[in-house]
Chain A
Amino acid sequence: MPVDMRTYLGHVELANPITTAAGCAASGAELAQFFDLGRLGAVTTRSITMAPRAGRPTPRMAETPSGLLSAVGLQGPGVDAFLARELPWLAQRNVRTVVSIGGGTVAEYTALARRLTDAPGVTAVEVNLSCPNIEDRGRVFALDGAASAEVVASVRSVMRYDVPVVAKLSPDALDVVAVARACVDGGADALSMINNPLGMSVDTDAMRPALAAVTGGLSGPAIRPLAVRCVWQVHAALPGVPIIGMGGVLTGRDAFEFVLAGACVVAVGTALFHDPYAGLRVVRELEEILAARGFHRLADAVGLAHRPPGATTRHRTDFEESPL
Chain B
Amino acid sequence: MSKTPVTPVQVTGTVLTTRRVDAYHALTVVAPGIVERFRPGHFVGVAVGGPGTSMLTRRAFSVHDVKPDYGGTVEFVFTAGGPGTTWLAERRARDTLDLVGPLGRPFPLPRDPVTCVLVGGEYGSAMLFAVADALQRRGCRVDFVLGAASADRVFGALRARRMGETTTLTTEDGSLGMRGRVTDVLPGVIADVRADAVYACGPMETLRGVTAVAVEFDIPVQVAVEERMACGIGVCMTCVLPVIGDDGVTRMVRACVEGPVFRGERVRFDDVGTIPFDALGAPGGGTRHAG
Contacts and interface: CB of A to CB of B under 8 A. Distances in A.
A274 B252 contact: no
Interface in A62-88: 63, 65-68, 70, 72-76, 78
Contacts of A50: 286-287
B228 interface: yes
Nearest to A24: B235
B280 A34 contact: no
Interface in B250-291: 251-252, 257, 272-275, 279-283, 285-291
Contacts of A17: none
A52 interface: yes
B289 A72 contact: no
Interface in B226-241: 227-228, 230-231, 233-241
B2 interface: no
Contact of B286 (A47, A51, A67, A270): A51
A308 B10 CA distance: 44
Contacts of B239: 58
Contacts of A46: 237
Given A24-B235, A50-B287, A103-B289, A57 B47 contact: no
A50 B287 CA distance: 8
Interface stretch (B52-60, B67-75, B85-93, B191-199): B52-60
Contacts of A33: 5, 7-8, 233
A26 B237 contact: yes
B290 A73 contact: yes
B289 A273 contact: no
A275 B237 CA distance: 16
A102 to B, nearest CB: 6
Contact of A55 (B10, B100, B230, B252): B252
Contacts of A52: 280-281, 286
Contacts of A74: 290-291
A212 B273 contact: yes
Interface in B9-63: 10, 47, 54-58
A220 interface: yes
B233 A30 contact: yes
B287 A103 contact: yes
A221 to B, nearest CB: 8
In this complex, the member of A57, A58, A132, A138 whose beta carbon has the largest number of chain B beta carbons within 10 angstroms is: A58
In this complex, the member of B251, B252, B288 whose beta carbon has the largest number of chain A beta carbons within 10 angstroms is: B252
A31 B235 contact: yes
A52 B54 CA distance: 34
Given A24-B235, A67-B56, A132 B275 contact: no
13 contacts: A23-B237, A26-B234, A54-B251, A58-B241, A61-B57, A61-B228, A66-B54, A73-B290, A131-B291, A212-B273, A213-B290, A221-B54, A273-B231
Interface of A: 23-26, 30-31, 33-34, 46-47, 49-61, 63, 65-68, 70, 72-76, 78, 102-104, 108, 128, 130-132, 134, 138, 212-213, 220-221, 270-277
Given A54-B280, A272-B231, 20 more contacts: A51-B286, A52-B280, A52-B286, A53-B287, A55-B240, A55-B281, A56-B275, A56-B290, A58-B238, A58-B272, A61-B238, A72-B237, A76-B281, A78-B281, A104-B288, A130-B291, A138-B289, A221-B54, A273-B236, A274-B57
